[in-house]
Structure 1
Amino acid sequence: MGSNQPTDKDDGGSPGGEGRPEGVLVSSVAKSIDIIESLRELREPTVSEVATHLGYSVSSVYKHLATLEDRGYVVKDDHLYRPSLRFFEIGSEINRQWLDVYEPARTALEELAQETGENCWLMIEEQGTGVMVCNVSGKDALEPGYFYEGKRAELYRSAAGKAILANLSQDKRNKIIESAEFDKLTEHTIASRETLRDELEQIRADGFAVNDEEAQPNIRALGAPIMDVDNRVLGAISISGPTSRISGEYYETELPEILAEKTNIIEIKLL
């Protein structure tokens, strides 16, 4: 199912939440989210450090943090603040309850990791970016570097992301490509829309995508899309490892066949 051109049906909203009516955003909610994100970026900051980082008043930041602490979303340790594990709880609930693809994909990743010994991943597209929602590591897997569970990244930066992007509807794919900034992570990172469009066309023909040292030096990855019965992409699984092991016939032929087998099993379980 994975190699056919996708339909132009709606596949989950526009990238970045475009199209909101004016006047619907609540500034106090936006401020709380800014504060939560600053806790992640600053790693256990004080109230004053958050206020300085965001340009908000100390009293305003304190009130927001006190409210978030009272509701269980922030932990205060002495004078330092961090997000609570409530966010982990919510994320886990989303995986289990709302992502139908999660459980069958995780089973496939466990099998893939056991067979190959490498890092195996499930990525889901959300608002035009890719989110790594599951990672299973085989016995020979390297410590994940750029990617980790929960990592959000532009789709063109990963094999799984490119497999998803190639199979989105043409309208949504074009919006994502036009908004891409093409920051270079390595000398091999895709650097232009034309190059990306050519590669996506090849991915649709082949049924799988590759990432050849585009996110990390000396790391290769292959990804394949998971499609539903209406030929809409639900996500993608991928395998990554060092170029010393993922090379030659194994890289060019064997792994694409293994990925095709695993995605086919996942798609059958979702029927």
Structure 2
Amino acid sequence: MSTDAATGADGVARGGRSSAAGSALEKSLRILEAVAAPGGPHRLADVMTAAAVPKSSTFRILASLIEQGFVRAEDGSRYGVGPRLRGLSALVSGGEPASIEEILRELRRATGQTVHLALHSGETITYIRKLESEQPFRTASRVGMRMPLHTTAIGKSILAGLTADEVRGLIAATGLPGRTPGTLTTARALLAELDVVRARGFAVDDEENEPTIRCIGAAIVGPDGRPVGGVSVTTVTFLVSREEIEAYAPALRAATAALAPLL
């Protein structure tokens, strides 16, 4: 039996049954590199060409990467870096660029509470940065965690930036599962809440995602007016009242406005 190795397009010899295009893992990694290349979001044809992967395989792998949050599907059938890939980058590099870090630190200083930065990906948000408060408590959230839109302050602020049809489409796709007794689990209640969020410019999670946890969140809006993510200030109900946490809204909105051009 022949033991000759096949040679790929990159000139690297590959043994066994691997094709010239490489293994499934190699294809996925090359597609991620193509998506993350400067100038994105990129068209499917450009990703396929840069990764040297057939169209059917590229489309299938992209669909899986989108589902997992590593790639984000953009308008016009383009593909950009997803929140889980950004979160992984933040873990590897030790944090975001100093300007983003400084904005989040200033918000934590101004409020004295835990601060989260999350990005929107389809039906969820993904935390990419968390700055703990100096209070003697810790929340269960962590960098890389994906959370529902309807139960979180950041998620509700993002939903408020979508059209009513888009919100109804998300509800139809995911439902409104309850995480606590306070979760909004009907479309009528959620849509009414989003009207309030739009009117005041921020959302409140009052023990809707986790018992004893209260958050205020606001969306980060992209150049096209669409929400790309958001920031929240998080505390516990037995230390900070709802009225007190809502008083953080001006500092929160200032932070999201400053972060918008950086994201």
TM bracket (short chain): 0.5 to 0.7
Instruction: Give how far 1:153 is off.
Output: 1.6
| Two-structure CA RMSD over aligned residues (Å) | 3.6
Counterpart selection for 1:93 from 89, 103, 111: 89
| Aligned-residue offset at 1:123 | 1.2
Alignment match, 1:108: 103
- In the alignment, the residues of structure 1 paired with residue 86 and residue 117 of structure 2 have an alpha-carbon distance, to the nearest angstrom, of 18
Deviations 1:184-211 (A, max 9, x none): 2211111111111111111111100000
1: distance between equivalents of 2:194 and 2:101? 26
2:124 matched residue in structure 1: 129
2:204 match: secondary structure: strand
Greater shift, 102-111 or 148-157, is seen at 102-111
Contact in 2 for aligned 1:117/1:141 (Cα 8 Å): no
For residue 126 of structure 1, report the CA deviation from its aligned partner: 0.8
- C-alpha distance in 2 between matches for 1:204 and 1:96: 36
Trace 1:1-271 onto structure 2 (pairs within 5 A). 24=56, 91-93=87-89, 104-140=99-135, 142-145=137-140, 147-247=141-241, 249-252=243-246, 254-267=247-260, 269-270=261-262
CA contact (8 A) 2:213 2:234 kept: yes
- Aligned-partner Cα distance in 2 for 1:208–1:90: 24
- Aligned partners of 2:254, 2:86: CA distance in 1, in Å? 32
Q: CA deviation at 1:169?
A: 4.0
Q: Bigger CA drift: 171-180 or 223-232?
A: 171-180
Q: 1:24 to 1:141 in 2, by over 3 A?
A: farther
Distance 2:239 2:249 in 1: 15
CA distance in 2, matches of 1:89, 1:260: 26
SS, match of residue 157 in structure 1: coil
Deviates more, 1:242-251 or 1:193-202: 242-251
Contact preservation (8 Å) 2:204, 2:214:
yes
Deviation, 1:226, is 1.1
Residues 134-175 of structure 1 show CA distances to partners (whole Å, capped at 9, x for unaligned) of: 101121162122x22111121011101111111124443332
Deviation at residue 245 of structure 1 after TM alignment: 2.6
Normalising by structure 1, report the TM-score: 0.60
* 8 A Cα contact 1:118 1:142, kept in partner: no
Q: What is the match of residue 66 of structure 1?
A: none
Residue type of the alignment partner of 2:108: A
Count of residues in Structure 1 that have an aligned counterpart in Structure 2: 190
**Do the aligned partners of 2:119 and 2:230 also contact (CA within 8 Å) in 1?**
yes
The structure, 1 or 2, with the larger RCO (C-alpha pairs under 8 Å, 6+ apart) is 1
Aligned-pair identity (%): 28
Contiguous gaps of at least 5 residues in structure 2: 1-40, 42-54, 69-83
Kindly provide the CA deviation profile for residues 61-98 of structure 1, in whole angstroms up to 9, marking residues without a partner as x: xxxxxxxxxxxxxxxxxxxxxxxxxxx9984337899x
Separation of aligned partners in 2, 1:257 and 1:90? 27
Contact 1:212–1:220 (8 Å) recurs in 2: yes
The amino acid that maps onto 1:223 is G
Gaps of 5+ in 1: 1-10, 12-22, 38-87
**Structure 1 residues 148 and 230: CA distance shift in structure 2, 3 A:** same
TM-score between both structures, scaled by the size of structure 2 = 0.61
| Deviation at residue 107 of structure 1 after TM alignment | 2.5
